[in-house]
Structure 1
Amino acid sequence: MKNYIHKYEEISKQMEQLGMKIPATMRGFSALHKASVANGALPSKTKELISLGIAIAVRCDGCIAFHVHDALMGGATSEEILETIGVAICMGGGPALVYGCEAMQALEQFKAVKQ
């Protein structure tokens, strides 16, 4: 079983290190991310759930860790995250099913430390 809490922490540190090496790129990405998930016509929570669905469909472990974490921090419920996993499976087929299971593991791990 993958440790998504560890993955989140590991990638956060790696992104910080990368930011020291390519600061302009990382500042630009950070600004894009912040603007993309800000509350607007869609609330931030919804945008994180969309991001999670895409992360599952494109099979990105690190993205799954970040967007499960951020969806929970944004107020998403387990049920909302599980329904997002279901939509991603519908859109992504068998590979998304496998990564949907990964997202479920991430949800369980982040929920366990949040309690």
Structure 2
Amino acid sequence: MSTTEVNDIAAALVLKGHIKMTNPPTPAILDHGQASALGNQPCATKAHEWHLLVGQRVEIRQSPSGMLDRGVVEATTKDGQILWLALEGALSRRMYVKEPGIEAWITG
């Protein structure tokens, strides 16, 4: 997926109210994300330090296939190798292990 396609999708989600961009994440724990069509704030930014994500809205992605889940991080282990995600939808919570190909992206 190209950066332009990502920006278009992010802009549509923001306009529909699915992503809120009012609280940008802390730059110290992030990769530089793609700039959204709505300004210079990142539409989604890869997080490296999972232990700092509690309370953040994230997408869990599997490279290269795409998004697996979306929700708010409820808890993490101290070493940041595992997080528990409060899901949006019918399921309540899911656990993810930080391993190659599994990534957390901050969305708002």
Structure with more of its chain in helix, by fraction: 1
CA radius of gyration, larger in: 1
Fold-level match, TM-score > 0.5? no
Structure with more of its chain in strand, by fraction: 2
Does 1 or 2 have the higher relative contact order (CA < 8 Å, sep 6+)? Answer: 1
TM-score w.r.t. length of structure 2: 0.30
